[in-house]
Structure formats: C-alpha cells, structure tokens
Amino acid sequence: MQLTMLKSKIHRATVTDSNVDYEGSIAIDASVMEAAGINEFEQVQVYNIANGNRFTTYAIAAERGTGTISVKGAAAHLAKKGDCVIIACYAMLEEAEARGHKPALVYVDAHNALKMVSSGITGHRL
C-alpha cells in the first residue's frame, strides 16, 4: 500500500507579488526551494493563511536570495502581495518507507529568508 506523505513545506512565507497575466505557477526563491527539496515544475499545494484559499500549482525557481514568492496566473486571484502562505509538497511512499519518513520543514522570516530547516513540527504538543 502507498501512503501520501508530506515531503516538505515552506511555513508562513510572505507573498511578494501576484500576477494574473502569466501562464500559471508559483515562483519561489531558489534557495528556499532547494532547502525544501522542491524541484522546478513539481506540484505544490498552497494554503493561504490570510484568506483560507487552497490551491494546487507547480513551482518555478525565482532568483536565488531575492525572497521571491510570486503567485502567477489564475492562482493570483487566490493570493495577493502580503498574504501569508504555507507551500506544501507531498510524495507517495510505501508503508514501510513512510514509517521512518521525515519531511523537510522550512521556516522563513517576514522577508522569506531561511530561518531554520527541521524534520519535526515545532511547537507540537501531545
């Protein structure tokens, strides 16, 4: 049996731009994508903390070190500059592999610069 597991997430990133006049995707600072293990053109889920919108798109690399999180195409109607978002990526794993799986959890500051990369949820309490 295969399970869908969180591969990685970028937690509480700030949208720096939204542009409806584009084919569609989300541009992410290449250094943040790399820290999260997200490949260019890989499917991602975006959860907008500001308004509750959730959407699926694909990642494209923005210039490294710029802090860019730019929502493009039709998805630009769902997130605007200044919105706080979580960008999540999932992988299909065999059940045995899933038991030991640890996702890459990337935390950024208000300018989308890397603060921390972890494999465990911070603040998680039993």
pLDDT tens for 68-113 read 999 999 999 999 999 999 999 999 999 999 999 999 999 999 999 9
What pLDDT band is residue 3 in, cutting at 50, 70 and 90? very high
Average pLDDT over residues 14-32: 95
All structural domains of the chain, each given as residue ranges with its CATH number in brackets, are 2-118 (2.40.40.20)
Q: How many CB atoms lie within 10 A of CB 88?
A: 19
What pLDDT band is residue 120 in, cutting at 50, 70 and 90? confident
Taking 60 as the threshold, does the pLDDT of residue 123 lie above it?
no
Q: How far apart, in whole angstroms, are the C-alpha atoms of residue 47 and residue 42?
A: 16
Taking 60 as the threshold, does the pLDDT of residue 46 lie above it?
yes
Marked catalytic residue, from 8, 18, 25, 31:
25
H helix or E strand, kind and range, residue 36: helix 30-36
Q: Can 90 be counted among the known catalytic residues?
A: no
Q: Quick one: tokens of 65?
A: 């070190």
The Cβ-side half-sphere exposure at 1, using a 13 Å CA radius, reads 6
Q: Can 25 be counted among the known catalytic residues?
A: yes
Q: What angle do CA 120, 82, 43 make, to 5 degrees?
A: 55
Marked catalytic residue, from 22, 47, 58, 107:
58
Q: How far apart, in whole angstroms, are the C-alpha atoms of residue 90 and residue 103?
A: 9
What pLDDT band is residue 119 in, cutting at 50, 70 and 90? confident
Dmax (CA) for the chain in angstroms is: 45
Taking 60 as the threshold, does the pLDDT of residue 125 lie above it?
no
What pLDDT band is residue 124 in, cutting at 50, 70 and 90? very low
